[in-house]
Structure 1
Amino acid sequence: MGWFRSFVIIALPLFFISHSRANYTVNARSSVALYWGQGPGQQRLLHFCQQASVDIIPLAFVDIFPEQGNGFPGTNFGNQCWGGSYVYKGPGNDSALNQLQSECPQLIADIPVCQTVYGKKILLSLGGGTTGYQLTGTENGEAFADFLWGAFGPRTQEWLDSGLPRPFDGPNNQSVEVDGFDFDIQVPSTDNEAGYIAMVQRLRSNFVGANKPKIITGAPQCIVPDANMGSMITSTQFDIIWIQYYNTPQCSARNWANANQNYLLTGIEAASGFSYDTWADFLSGTASANAKLYIGLPGAPATADPSSDFYLNTTEMSSLVKAYYCKANFGGIMIWEATAAENNVGPNGTFYQDVKDVLLGYDGNSLLCSISPGNNTSRRRIPATRMATAPLTPTQITRRNPN
């Protein structure tokens, strides 16, 4: 039997903002990051870059590390790369482990257009929900950082002379580089994160003197500290941390929404276990103290039960954003993932468009951060609650392509 979500109309400030060209800025509070690369039947990257509602796109994933991949890392961008034998041959002796994709023609064509024409930040995301990656110590982490910088950073003649791969370079000798690296580490490390710490530090040192700014981002779980990323985040400098407020019920955005159903009307926040402030306190005094914090949300429902699904409808998402928008380190919303959010269409567009409109609505309310939430009387109606075109499966929000 199909399922139905009733439409809800509620008041809130200044939402219907016209779309314009998106450009990520460090101090913005209204940025939208949209993971791409793992959606079933996903549209090409260019489509999402053409959306003014999107500012940052992490490409998911580098899901195999060199020690597990015949000396080269492995990539998986779903339907956007050729399969089979279209991989770079690693320096090891087991060709079955070669997984660094060599033929991704649409992706290669789209990245520079996304950056130069549409002003998007394109990041390369490492990790995800598989088990094919692991670092073993400082030296291993530094070597991997140097490989990523050589393969996906600014092109150098020394790298080319070594015959090493440049997977994103285009035809006619076009050099293509990403704008930074994202860490979504969900596999426990065997070296107390020493390899990851060394890796981020080495990337940072490589960034010095680059022809354009680069950033480091991370996607920990909402538990504080994250079991797999806590030490690397506090020991090295991250520019953005987009926390996954799904999959872990006790600190999830769903818990917050269930406990704060009347927040838009009352401005009074009930305790819910939501860990945003705990994360901010945890980062204070660390190498990532100045990192912007994004609230990570799924782009569409995964089940037919709205009370237990990690997805927040427009009203719930608006309430949560309002509660945390004025926090000093708030930077925006991260969405997992592009195809789910694209197919989740409501009266005013896709889910990611709705998220952007909510953020811009609060950005345009000059009184919001100067008065207490309970005194905020500048309210407007928001779009109706969304219904996804089809529920996602399985119930847990996976970080891998199900195909």
Structure 2
Amino acid sequence: MRSIASYPLTLIFLLISLTLFSKSNAGGIVTYWGQDSREGRLTDACNSGLYSIVNIAFLSTFGGGRQPEINLAGHCNPGSCQGVGQGIKNCQNKGVKVFLSIGGDHSTNTYTLTSDDDARKLGDYIWDNFLGGQSASRPFGDAILDGVDFDIEGGELHYAALARKLHEHASSSSRKFYLAAAPQCPFQNNILSGALNTGLFDYVWIQFYNNGQANCEFNSNNQNGFRNSWNKWSSSINAAKFFVGLPAAHAAATTGYVPSQDLINQLLPIVKSPKYGGIMLWNRYFDNLTGYSSKIKNNV
């Protein structure tokens, strides 16, 4: 016969198990900083306590013989961004990872990779100027970023070669460096398919916005397209964590905005699983404007 005293222990064990399960599916919020001078300092973004990762956007010129160059849209001139370097250190001291995002809007055609050798040269440049390497021309000074985000929206292929080169450099370091990617939500209908198939990426934040005709964005009246896309991504790509990429305001994207209560009540129950990493928001300026992160943080 079971003693009465064993019941409280059983209850405690059950509560601990439920708590651990809940925490295992807890996520973080990722945002992009650097494309609007009205968004404030990088330090302020990290001091907000809202984000686990901030992507500095963008290294938007590279490849095809071009000299790689960052464009931070009014925060600093490409050759004088040492203040951002201090912001990176401040963020890291707060426990926030900071990545360099490469690519971005391709309408101006400022980036492409013309060959695997071109990709490997870019990998060397990124390692030496932003990560663990050495260079006399580091745009952010001696600040060492935590990883690289591939936000590639056009140009030629060869991004698999870039991922392998960055991984090769990182493998020689005792410090952990991360690879992330921001593909469009139609499954593998994008220029990053080869890179993602390498299995080298830690995080994939899928852009469920600006794809209104593709039936993969979230629709509160019919969730099947979103659910199918999410399940395909999270089950087919070898990555540690997957994030739902959304605009932080109606004005931040053409389509794809999800009201915060719809996200909490309808979207999150679909995606929460051991592979779920959290929510990615475009971008810090619009998040500041709407307070979107603050509304969802306790549920993400």
- Counterpart of 1:292 (choices 241, 264, 276) is 241
Contact 2:185 2:217 in 1 (8 A): no
Contact 1:152 1:166 in 2 (8 A): yes
What secondary structure does 1:29 align onto? coil
Contact 2:217 2:226 in 1 (8 A): no
Instruction: Show the 5 A alignment for 1:38-53.
Output: 38-53=35-50
What secondary structure does 1:235 align onto? coil
Q: Tell me if 1:178 matches 2:184.
A: no
CA 1:135–1:354 in 2, change beyond 3 Å: closer, same or farther?
same
Q: Paired residue for 2:102? A: 126
Distance (Å, rounded) in 2 between the aligned partners of 1:253 and 1:126: 24
Give, in angstroms, the shift of residue 281 of structure 1: 3.2
Amino acid in the other structure paired with 2:73 = G
Distance (Å, rounded) in 1 between the aligned partners of 2:63 and 2:191: 19
- Counterpart of 2:154 (choices 187, 208, 214) is 187
Greater relative contact order (Cα < 8 A, sep 6+)? 1
1:121-154 Cα distance to aligned partner (Å, 9 max, x none): 0000000112211101111111110111001112
Q: Paired residue for 2:121? A: 143
Q: Paired residue for 2:8? A: none
- Counterpart of 2:235 (choices 258, 277, 281) is 281
Q: Tell me if 1:34 matches 2:11.
A: no
Amino acid in the other structure paired with 2:144 = E
- Counterpart of 1:324 (choices 265, 271, 282) is 271
Contact 2:218 2:225 in 1 (8 A): no
CA 1:132–1:28 in 2, change beyond 3 Å: closer, same or farther?
farther
Stretches of structure 1 that go unaligned for 5 or more consecutive residues are 1-26, 83-100, 170-174, 260-269, 284-288, 345-349, 360-403
- Compute the TM-score of the two structures, normalised by the length of structure 2: 0.85
Give, in angstroms, the shift of residue 28 of structure 1: 6.4
- Counterpart of 1:168 (choices 140, 143, 146) is 140
Q: Paired residue for 1:223? A: 186
| Aligned residues: CA RMSD | 1.9
What secondary structure does 2:205 align onto? strand
What secondary structure does 1:253 align onto? coil
Instruction: Show the 5 A alignment for 1:293-312.
Output: 293-302=242-251, 309-312=255-258
Give, in angstroms, the shift of residue 328 of structure 1: 2.7
CA 1:309–1:221 in 2, change beyond 3 Å: closer, same or farther?
closer
Give, in angstroms, the shift of residue 210 of structure 1: 1.9
What secondary structure does 2:60 align onto? strand
Q: Paired residue for 1:56? A: 53
Distance (Å, rounded) in 1 between the aligned partners of 2:62 and 2:26: 33
Contact 2:127 2:169 in 1 (8 A): yes
- Counterpart of 2:296 (choices 349, 355, 368) is 355
Distance (Å, rounded) in 1 between the aligned partners of 2:118 and 2:250: 39
1:170-215 Cα distance to aligned partner (Å, 9 max, x none): xxxxx211000000110042xxx3x211111010010023242110
- Counterpart of 1:335 (choices 274, 278, 281) is 281
Matched residues, percent identical? 27
Contact 1:222 1:251 in 2 (8 A): no
Distance (Å, rounded) in 1 between the aligned partners of 2:52 and 2:246: 16
CA 1:297–1:273 in 2, change beyond 3 Å: closer, same or farther?
closer
Distance (Å, rounded) in 2 between the aligned partners of 1:135 and 1:225: 19
Give, in angstroms, the shift of residue 254 of structure 1: 3.5
CA 1:251–1:40 in 2, change beyond 3 Å: closer, same or farther?
farther
Amino acid in the other structure paired with 1:291 = A
Q: Tell me if 1:241 matches 2:204.
A: yes
Q: Paired residue for 1:15? A: none
1:285-338 Cα distance to aligned partner (Å, 9 max, x none): xxxx133110001011129xxxx952111111112012211x231110000000
Instruction: Show the 5 A alignment for 1:266-277.
Output: 270-274=223-227, 275-277=229-231
Stretches of structure 2 that go unaligned for 5 or more consecutive residues are 1-23
Higher helix share: 2
1:339-361 Cα distance to aligned partner (Å, 9 max, x none): 001110xxxxx2112221221xx
Q: Paired residue for 2:19? A: none
Give, in angstroms, the shift of residue 34 of structure 1: 0.7
Distance (Å, rounded) in 1 between the aligned partners of 2:255 and 2:144: 37
Contact 1:333 1:355 in 2 (8 A): no
